[in-house]
């Protein structure tokens, strides 16, 4: 969906960015909403956690055939599924799906694109329906988000969907929150989207906008 398209489905009148229950957007829904608003055809972007390729395809659709997409995952099955999904949708040529951790992003991306990325999306945790022991780890996540900010263009957007409910997730959430709060406000604007009246540890979405200097 592009920004200039209607934000609701005229037939069901259900907002397109509602959660599955019709409520407010999920953590990933917020990421997608904000990236949809800002990405344009031809932009260069990264999906830092490819998984089943849904987010990679979402990004590829926004930046179109003139755009560039790099996606990372440590699981071979995720890489293969993402490549399959992209090829099926006709984006096989414009997207590179890299079988490596996102902490290697700086080394893997061509130098010409350093500081030129318009959007970088993290969807942390484990891949639903697969081995739950393969999860993002706080140490490498922190390395990766720091690299991501360096690689981002002025005016670019970083989104991080965080899931505190699984083993290790609460620590990752705490450290992401500390890192985000430490970012200098003259260079970065940071916002957090999260449900506040649920008793469980709800997923949350961090968004960092890199201010133009």
Ligand X SMILES: C[S@@+](CC[C@H](N)C(=O)[O-])C[C@H]1O[C@@H](n2cnc3c(N)ncnc32)[C@H](O)[C@@H]1O
Judged by the rule CB under 6 A, the positions of this chain that interact with ligand X are: 49-55, 72-75, 78, 101-103, 123, 125-127, 134-136, 140
Nearest residue (beta carbon) to ligand X: 51
Instruction: Identify whether the C-beta of residue 35 lies closer than 8 Å to the C-beta of residue 157.
Output: yes
Residue closer to ligand X, measured from CB, 43 or 82: 82
- Which tokens in the block code for residue 22? 């019709």
C-beta of 30 vs 72, nearer to ligand X? 72
Full 3-state SS string of 78-146:
HHHHHHHHHHHCCCCCCEEEEEECHHHHHHHCCHHHCCCEEEEEEECCECCCCCCCCECCHHHHHHHHH
CB of 85 to ligand X, least distance (A): 9
- Closest-CA residue to 121 (of 71, 178, 172, 63): 71
Measured from the CB atom, the residue of 52 and 173 that comes closer to ligand X is 52
Query: In terms of CB distance, is 50 or 97 closer to ligand X?
Result: 50
In the complex, the smallest distance separating the C-beta of residue 186 from ligand X, rounded to whole angstroms, is 30
Minimum separation from the CB atom of position 37 to ligand X (A): 19
CB of 128 to ligand X, least distance (A): 7
Q: Which is nearer to ligand X, 67 or 101 (CB)?
A: 101
CB 154 to ligand X: min, Å:
25
Residue closer to ligand X (CB basis): 53 or 156: 53
147-167 exposure pattern, b = at least 16 Cβ within 10 A, e = fewer: bbbebbbeebbbbbbbbbeee
- Cα within 13 Å of Cα(32), Cβ side: 23
Query: 174-212 in b/e burial notation, b at 16+ Cβ within 10 A?
Result: ebbbebbeebeeeebebeebbeeeeeeebbbbbbbbbee
* Alpha carbon distance 152, 120 (integer Å): 8
Q: How far is the CB of 144 from ligand X (least distance, A)?
A: 7
Size (the chain), residues: 213
């Amino acid at each position: 969906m592009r920004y200039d398209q209607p934000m609701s489905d005229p037939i069901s009148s259900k907002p397109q960015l509602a959660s599955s229950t019709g409520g407010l957007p999920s953590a990933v829904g917020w990421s997608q909403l904000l990236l949809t608003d800002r990405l344009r055809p031809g932009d260069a972007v990264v999906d830092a956690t490819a998984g089943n390729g849904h987010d990679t395809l979402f990004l590829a659709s926004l930046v179109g055939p003139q755009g560039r997409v790099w996606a990372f995952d440590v699981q071979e099955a995720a890489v293969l599924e993402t490549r399959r999904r992209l090829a099926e949708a006709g984006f096989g040529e414009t997207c590179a799906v890299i079988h490596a951790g996102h902490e290697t992003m700086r080394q893997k991306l061509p130098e010409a694109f350093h500081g030129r990325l318009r959007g970088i999306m993290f969807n942390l945790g484990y891949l639903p329906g697969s081995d739950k022991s393969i999860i993002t780890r706080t140490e490498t996540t922190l390395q990766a988000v720091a690299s991501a900010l360096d690689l981002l263009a002025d005016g670019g957007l970083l989104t991080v969907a965080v899931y505190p409910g699984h083993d290790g997730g609460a620590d990752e959430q705490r450290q992401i929150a500390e890192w985000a709060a430490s970012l200098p406000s003259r260079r970065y604007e940071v916002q957090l989207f999260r449900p506040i009246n649920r008793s469980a540890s709800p997923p949350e979405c961090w968004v960092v906008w890199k201010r133009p200097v």
